[in-house]
């Protein structure tokens, strides 16, 4: 299972607000059926590597369909094959190493 963090920035929209473009991108992720978590700076999606890579152009097209003239994307992929991996598992691994408060 691979995990991808992705952040898209629509450019040429005529406005500094990008929420409607991000919402369109998230709808594309939802249509894929892949598990995801949205946060303030990027979205984390898990699935097989091929599915994640197929998703990127769909996200771009969702932004272009809303009127973006350009889309800049930053993504990071963790493709771990030696052990099971999940969004929750990665978070749990870090939290277990943190001292209790």
**For residue range 30-44, what is the model confidence (pLDDT) as tens digits?**
999 999 999 999 999
pLDDT at 42: 96
Report if residue 46 sits inside a domain: yes
Report if residue 49 sits inside a domain: yes
Counting the structural domains of the chain, the total is 1
Report if residue 24 sits inside a domain: yes
Tell me, what CATH number does 72's domain have? 3.30.70.930
CA–CA separation, 6 and 44 (whole Å)? 6
Span 5-14, pLDDT tens digits: 999 999 999 9
Span 49-67, pLDDT tens digits: 999 999 999 999 999 999 9
Report if residue 86 sits inside a domain: yes
79 pLDDT higher than 70: yes
One-character DSSP codes across 11-55: ESSSSS--HHHHHHHHHHHHHHT-EEEE-SS-EEEEE-HHHHHHH
| Whole-number average pLDDT of the chain | 95
101 pLDDT higher than 70: no
Report if residue 101 sits inside a domain: no
Report if residue 23 sits inside a domain: yes
With beta carbons less than 8 A apart as the criterion, state whether 28 and 59 touch.
yes
Query: What's this model's pTM, rounded to 2 decimal places?
Result: 0.90
pLDDT at 94: 94
Report if residue 36 sits inside a domain: yes
Domain that holds residue 18: 2-96
């Amino acid at each position: 299972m691979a995990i991808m963090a992705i952040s898209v920035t629509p450019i040429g929209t005529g406005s500094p607000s990008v929420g409607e473009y991000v919402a369109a991108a998230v709808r594309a992720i939802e249509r894929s059926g892949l598990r995801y978590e949205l946060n303030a700076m990027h979205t984390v999606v898990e699935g097989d590597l091929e599915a994640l890579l197929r998703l990127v152009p769909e996200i771009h097209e969702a932004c272009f369909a809303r009127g973006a003239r350009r889309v800049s994307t930053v993504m990071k992929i963790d493709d771990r094959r030696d052990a099971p991996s999940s969004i929750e598992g990665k978070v749990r691994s870090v939290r277990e190493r943190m001292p209790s408060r």
